[in-house]
Structure 1
């Protein structure tokens, strides 16, 4: 007998009211996997591990992080698509994989609308531009002058993934300041930062949480941030809007996704657990310290945010002349 979505939700609410979990994986004792599309050591990995530690208590299940790095999250997204829709596999990711990658890759191997279900959002974040302290650069205007003097207007800028927000920003910065900037793609922020620390590449663009620790330690120097206002973690660093570069005020987001067809009862239970976790003072404090702006979103709100961000980037990508590859 086929049970309607409404009946499932009614059962879920009734079970919750009775003090019982509406969905459990306890039968097979399988852990819940949180897929991460980037290597260990990066910002997304650190966030996922923090969530996993807290979610296990809220869900009463073992929660582990499963890193599947490569292609800007594309590999992890393909794993999610083929995973069983039983609540045992989820995907912690940001806007690049969900809103941008399907627009810049001809055959990404997944369709977020068709293959995934939003399970809840928990934060937005800000990208920033940083340089190696091997350079004498102290400000973004210093950087522009330095590139023109040292490299005759040519220089490489590291990015955590190809055809990503950072790559389009590199293009825009090159045009705006008449520089010949080459976007150098990496498999995540961790190897990019390692090369910056090793003076293999002079500059990079990534999220604030990727650079924050090394910036505070004086090992790298963040020169500018995106978004409409300065970040609490970097109060002395100007926004690109302050420097005259507008159009990047809308903030990227972080969310959790499940395979299409995952029971509504599990999605509801997970979303409630996620809301409780990000409301915890210690979690809020740790995420904020990473440069993350905590913002819980229900699955419906996450879907709306995803759609709006996808449409905004559709205009930027088309204006850049970028052709899907």
Structure 2
């Protein structure tokens, strides 16, 4: 029997093609496939809304596969991250996360139960965003300057809600208080949804969270975003100044949203999902919905997302150490 030997490059190409076919192959196979997108926060928040937009769009792109959003709230995304680590590396379980769970938690928790550098692999970045400072409708403040004046009239002390303990928003509360000589006390919540509920009920006068968390209620006039982080004003709220304008520079490096998979997931599967997400983000019906949430939509390859994650982690490592924070 004659044996034919393919060149090494051809063999590698065939292997990649087989991986792609296994990951996103025939329509019949896809129809029987269920993909879970883990979200570390309760339904109703910004991350949950983004995950559901992606899930709906990816169903059609992946030949009818079932794409489910699975909320695992608790510990600022820690439980969802642990669930990702425990999942099979078959491309059927992904974790939609912003900077907190991936870049911040491992620096502020002694034993988070996962190590992003070893337990996860980046799949695709979908957008960047900025954090914002908002005041509830129960305060008289119409601007950040008004808020500072109001806090001083209340004895100089105020609670500011944040979506998770030891998060970027909590560190921002500390730094904003120091800059403007206010005694601001961060009040951590289990996600942005309960924080929004308390702000709308005037149970807490202010909060720091992402623009996607605040945008709808800001538009409705139920709360007021009075300052944003990042290097430029945001198109969705062009009248709101940046904190650089307000006198607190140094927070121009903006956080990200991305999808991550368990370590060991085949690169062909990762590349295929990244390409499918790129096609989804290119659709106006999807990108416009995400942009309306206050995101700067833009596809990032697995390698680019990994680079952004490492750079953001390094930036906040310096800031966290400068605050004197001790991991809990």
1:86 aligns with 2:90: yes
1:187-207 Cα offsets, whole Å, 9 max, x none, are 110100100000100000001
Mapped to 2, the partners of 1:12 and 1:70 lie a distance apart of: 40
| Equivalent position of 1:307 in the other structure | 310
1:47-77 Cα offsets, whole Å, 9 max, x none, are 0000001111112211000000111110000
| Equivalent position of 1:120 in the other structure | 124
Secondary structure of residue in 2 paired with 1:11: helix
User: Does 27-36 or 244-253 show the bigger shift?
Assistant: 27-36
Mapped to 1, the partners of 2:194 and 2:40 lie a distance apart of: 14
1:155 aligns with 2:148: no
Shift of 1:268: 1.1
TM-score w.r.t. the length of structure 1 is: 0.94
Does the C-alpha gap of structure 1 residues 9 and 300 become closer, same or farther in structure 2, counting only changes over 3 Å? Answer: farther
Contact 1:93–1:256 (Cα < 8 Å) also in 2: yes
Contact 2:31–2:66 (Cα < 8 Å) also in 1: no
Shift of 1:114: 0.5
Contact 1:100–1:164 (Cα < 8 Å) also in 2: yes
| Equivalent position of 2:179 in the other structure | 176
1:5-59 Cα offsets, whole Å, 9 max, x none, are x88862355459xxx8342483893410000001000000000000001111112
| Equivalent position of 1:3 in the other structure | none
| Equivalent position of 1:293 in the other structure | 296
Contact 1:9–1:265 (Cα < 8 Å) also in 2: no
Shift of 1:95: 0.7
Task: Name the count of aligned residue pairs.
Answer: 317
Contact 1:22–1:265 (Cα < 8 Å) also in 2: no
| Equivalent position of 1:138 in the other structure | 142
Mapped to 2, the partners of 1:278 and 1:265 lie a distance apart of: 20
User: Does 299-308 or 57-66 show the bigger shift?
Assistant: 57-66
Shift of 1:270: 0.3
Contact 2:38–2:93 (Cα < 8 Å) also in 1: yes
| Equivalent position of 2:268 in the other structure | 265
| Equivalent position of 1:97 in the other structure | 101
Mapped to 1, the partners of 2:94 and 2:31 lie a distance apart of: 17
Does the C-alpha gap of structure 1 residues 76 and 319 become closer, same or farther in structure 2, counting only changes over 3 Å? Answer: same
Contact 1:227–1:250 (Cα < 8 Å) also in 2: yes
1:66 aligned residue (65, 70, 80)? 70
| Unpaired segments ≥5 residues, structure 1 | 1-5
| Equivalent position of 2:279 in the other structure | 276
Shift of 1:264: 1.6
Contact 2:136–2:199 (Cα < 8 Å) also in 1: yes
Contact 1:8–1:264 (Cα < 8 Å) also in 2: no
TM-score w.r.t. the length of structure 2 is: 0.93
Does the C-alpha gap of structure 1 residues 7 and 261 become closer, same or farther in structure 2, counting only changes over 3 Å? Answer: farther
Contact 1:120–1:299 (Cα < 8 Å) also in 2: yes
